[in-house]
């Protein structure tokens, strides 16, 4: 009996994950409001960007795996830099809208100690995602996460986690979750998430 129950549990978990990503996928909500719910220590401003005070930040769980170009990447190895994590899919219209802004800011800030990492999700094979990165001149790697496991399990409960596609989470130089947006970003808003963290000692 336990053997027949295990696959059902697995199917249920996959079903819940799929439903969660489907409900939150490709958010076109321009106000970016996100209810923290419960006992959270973050603040969401009117621009839809949530931030956590320096002393109250939490590190993510392991965010590691194979990139679209087949290399191994572990976000923990980027500690010491401000890290921008962007959850995206090639199928997502708002992701296409923000891609040129991300490519530009990533290139501009690379020499200032900022690293960008994409979290590519819900692309059943790599080819559309690779074509997306080529079309938009994306200069940074993306972890290939077709089932959304990194997005679902990479961020502790109660922290600023990706809840929509696209979502952007920024880690401070200590590797802790410092800011999040649940909407497509232009260059100005993206820089507003990064630049305060660059100034931190």
pLDDT tens readout for residues 140-190: 999 999 999 999 999 999 899 999 999 999 999 999 999 999 999 999 999
pTM for this structure?
0.82
Tokens found for residue 179: 């800011």
List of residues 6+ apart from 110 with CB closer than 8 A: 139
pLDDT tens readout for residues 8-37: 444 444 444 444 444 355 654 444 333 443
Q: Are 153 and 119 in contact (CB under 8 A)?
A: no
Is the peptide bond between 166 and the residue preceding it cis, with omega within 30 degrees of 0? yes
């Amino acid at each position: 009996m336990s053997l027949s129950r295990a696959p059902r549990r697995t199917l249920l978990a996959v079903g819940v994950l799929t439903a969660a990503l489907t409900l939150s996928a490709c958010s076109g909500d321009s106000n970016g409001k996100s209810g923290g719910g419960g006992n959270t220590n973050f603040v969401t401003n009117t621009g839809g960007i949530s931030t956590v005070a320096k002393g109250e930040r939490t590190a993510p769980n392991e965010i590691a795996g194979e990139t679209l170009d087949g290399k191994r990447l572990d976000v923990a190895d980027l500690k010491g830099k401000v890290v921008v994590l962007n959850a995206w899919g090639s199928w997502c219209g708002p992701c296409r809208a923000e891609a040129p802004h991300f490519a530009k800011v990533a290139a501009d800030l690379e020499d200032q100690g900022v690293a960008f990492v994409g979290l590519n999700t819900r692309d059943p094979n790599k080819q559309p995602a690779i074509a997306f990165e080529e079309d938009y001149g994306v200069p940074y790697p993306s972890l290939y996460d077709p089932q959304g496991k990194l997005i679902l399990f990479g961020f502790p409960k109660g922290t600023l986690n990706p809840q929509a596609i696209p979502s952007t989470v920024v880690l401070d130089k200590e590797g802790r979750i410092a800011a999040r947006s649940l909407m497509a970003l232009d260059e100005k808003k993206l820089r507003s998430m990064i630049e305060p963290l660059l100034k931190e000692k």
